Amino acid sequence: MFAADKPDSRLRAAWLYVLLRTLEYAGPAFIKWGQWAATRPDMFPADICQQLSKLHSQAPAHTFYETRKIIEKAFHLPLDRLFEEFSEKPIASGSIAQVHKAVLRTKGQKPLVVAVKVRHPRVSTVIQRDFVIMNWLARMSTKFSSLEHLQLDKTVQQFATFMTKQVDLTLEAAHLMRFIYNFRQWRNVSFPRPIYPLVHPEVLVETFEEGRSIQEFIDEGPRTKLHSQLARLGSSLLLKMLLSDNFIHGDLHPGNMFVKLGKKVPQLILLDVGMTAELSQRNRYILLELFKALSDKDGARVARCALEFSEDQTCTNPEAFIGDVDNTFKQYLSVRGTSKMGDYIAELFEQVRRYRVNLDGEVCTVMVTVVILEGWQRKLDMSLDIMRMVKELLFKAEWTASFEYVMGAIAAP
């Protein structure tokens, strides 16, 4: 609070560092809240979002004794009856669960290598406690006029819905099955497959996916045809999720994407699908109109679309907001001449926060996903223009042709 009016000061830099470390030590719900807040640049300043994006959900692993106890209680069978091999040491541990590699016993078939996701013991109780604290802090924030526009009481409710998806592993399994169905005709995009009936709110058994993190390809050089293929494939799958399926992976950072190299084309494997977004018909229509306006570089239309997202709009001055967004876009184009959609969205978020425009959380998740995805795609292939791809797709469709048909003609790899 003391550093709020000094964005470039050493005091604020120190405060941002303390904020990050405090959330890391506060518990799983606070860590997840920080990660969620990093995706809300419409509510929080850019430096806070950037700092919170560094928040890692790594957490100490629970013991193998507890892992065994949780699995056997969930499936009512001894561990060695379920698995031929089971790695006692987890290969990853987050704030909600940890993952073990195992070999599943199968009757008369080849043993199957699987990943076993096990929720930390007592994590639900800890999260409920954290929510009590969060709700108290949110109510206290309403007493400060400078914090009213953040509507922290409402955001805690939105975050509670987000956390429910993270804690219940049966929901993640359902998301996986839905993505598998949506991409059933795409040979170069895949997801881990849940192994039913070994799916439980506390335990999820799924196929173990081998591959290299896409971050390795982002970091290596020089750029080749493979890098261009990966960049275009990433753009294509996002456009399919958004325009054809209306079911979007909400956490498409490089750590959740593996690459498996085939003989002809690479295959992308998408992991960790607990966070997803699905827009209402109204918000989906408005978002597509906003993307049209972005592709036309029309700042005024972009601002009007942003104002339409919420029926409970809190914007202090809509006309001034439209004018400033339009002027900002024109100045931005004259100086940089850029066609990066991520840059336009970042500029929009700055004005949204300044004028206290209320954006729907699901819409914001989709827009931030676009920014993140375009960021690493540009590193793979600087010539990739996702703005052009969106414009071709939306305007060629003209709302009469089937999206599936147009996706197959334009966006599919």
Q: Residue 222's CB: how many other CB atoms inside 10 A?
A: 5
The predicted structure's pLDDT at residue 150: 61
The closest of 158, 193, 156 to 173, measured between CA atoms, is 193
Q: What is the structure's pLDDT at 56?
A: 65
CB atoms within 10 A of CB 232: 19
The whole-model pTM stands at: 0.81
Instruction: Give tens-digit pLDDT for 32-49.
Output: 788 777 877 777 788 888
For residue 403, what pLDDT is reported? 47
**What are the tens digits of pLDDT across the range 361-391?**
788 878 888 877 777 788 888 887 777 777 7
Give the model's pLDDT for residue 193. 97
Which residues are paired to 257 by β-bridges?
270
Is 101's pLDDT higher than 90?
Answer: yes
**What's residue 148's pLDDT?**
64
The DSSP line for 273-298 is -SSEE---HHHHHHHHHHHHHHHTT-
**Could you check whether the bond before residue 413 is cis, i.e. omega within 30 degrees of 0?**
no
For a pLDDT cut of 70, what percent of the chain falls above it? Answer: 87
- Quick one: pLDDT band at residue 313, thresholds 50, 70, 90? confident
Distance, in Å, from the CA atom of 156 to the CA atom of 306, rounded to the nearest integer, reads 22
Query: Cα separation of 6 and 184, whole Å?
Result: 51
pLDDT at 152 over 80: no
Q: How confident is the model at residue 120 (pLDDT cuts 50, 70, 90)?
A: very high
- Per the model's pLDDT, the better-predicted residue between 395 and 140 turns out to be 140
Q: Which residue has the higher pLDDT, 204 or 250?
A: 204
Residue 251 has pLDDT above 60, yes or no: yes
pLDDT: is 411 or 222 the higher one? Answer: 222
Tell whether the model's pLDDT for residue 398 goes beyond 60.
Answer: no
Q: Where are the domains of the chain?
A: 1-56, 63-207, 210-412
Comparing C-alpha atoms, which of 165, 325, 191 is closest to residue 267? 191
Per-residue pLDDT for 407 more than 60?
Answer: no
Choose between 185 and 370: higher pLDDT: 185
Beta bridge partners of 97: 119
Instruction: Please report which confidence band the pLDDT of residue 400 belongs to, taking 50, 70 and 90 as the band edges.
Output: very low
| pLDDT (0 to 100) of residue 164 | 67
CA distances (Å), origin 35, targets 41, 56, 163? 12, 8, 11
The mean pLDDT value for 325-342 works out to 72
- Which has the higher per-residue pLDDT, 174 or 158? 174
Q: Taking all residues of the chain, what is their mean pLDDT, rounded to a whole number?
A: 83
Q: How confident is the model at residue 413 (pLDDT cuts 50, 70, 90)?
A: very low
- Each residue of 40-87: pLDDT tens digit? 777 778 888 888 877 765 667 899 999 999 999 999 999 999 999 999
Who wins on pLDDT, 380 or 346?
Answer: 380
402 — pLDDT class (breaks 50, 70, 90): very low
When mean pLDDT is compared across 90-94, 176-180, 310-314, the lowest value belongs to: 310-314
Q: Which residues pair with 101 in a beta bridge?
A: 115
